[in-house]
Structure formats: structure tokens, C-alpha cells
Amino acid sequence: MSAYYELKNTSSGKPMFNLKAGNHEIILTSQSYASKDDALNGIASCQKNGVSADAFEKKASSAGEPYFVLKATNGQIIGKSEMYSSEAARDKGIDSVVRNAATTKIVEA
């Protein structure tokens, strides 16, 4: 199985997407968008920017848990990761997004 974008609505009815690896694990989660077209534009931005390791910002939560955000060239956040147990695990997550972001497969949930 290859990576894919899962396009779905939040509990409040707003569209959003997850980038999922071939094993169906979520590797990046978007914000919620005003429209489906906006969410599709977010996916396009992820496909374009997610293939460059330079587009990621490594962060830590207030509890010290490592995570990352993917940013567009204009500085807007496209998506963020889960909280990881270590910086090494976070870096593997970034590598996974870089390897999988270019996928054109979109599944509507």
C-alpha cells in the first residue's frame, strides 16, 4: 500500500486532511478549512512543500514532547505531526513526510 491523503470533515463539518503512510498511520494533520477546495489547495501545498526537509520546523510542546510543523514558502503552517517520544522519532516522522508528501492519491472519508 502506498501513502495517501485522507480528506474528511471534522466534527464541526469543516474539511481537513491527514497524510497517511502506506501502513495507514497518520504522519501529518492539517488545520480545518472553510471549504473542500481550500483543503484541496492545502493538499497541493503539502505535495509541493513536503518533499523538502527545509520546509519543516522542529518544535517541542510545553511538556517537552518533540513534534514538527510543515510550512509553506510564505510561512503558513500546512500541517503538524503528532507528539513524539524522542527527537529521533520526530526526525523519522519528518523523513516519512518527505518520502510520502508527493503522492497524488486522495481518499475521501
pLDDT tens digits for range 68-105: 999 999 999 999 999 999 999 999 999 999 999 999 99
- pTM for this prediction: 0.94
Q: Are 59 and 70 in contact (CB under 8 A)?
A: no
pLDDT value at position 62? Answer: 96
- Which structural domain range is residue 38 located in? 4-108
Mean pLDDT for the stretch of residues 58-67: 97
pLDDT tens digits for range 19-57: 999 999 999 999 999 999 999 999 999 999 999 999 999
Assess whether pLDDT exceeds 80 at residue 1: no
For residue 79, the domain's CATH number is: 2.30.29.80
Per the structure, how many domains does the chain have? 1
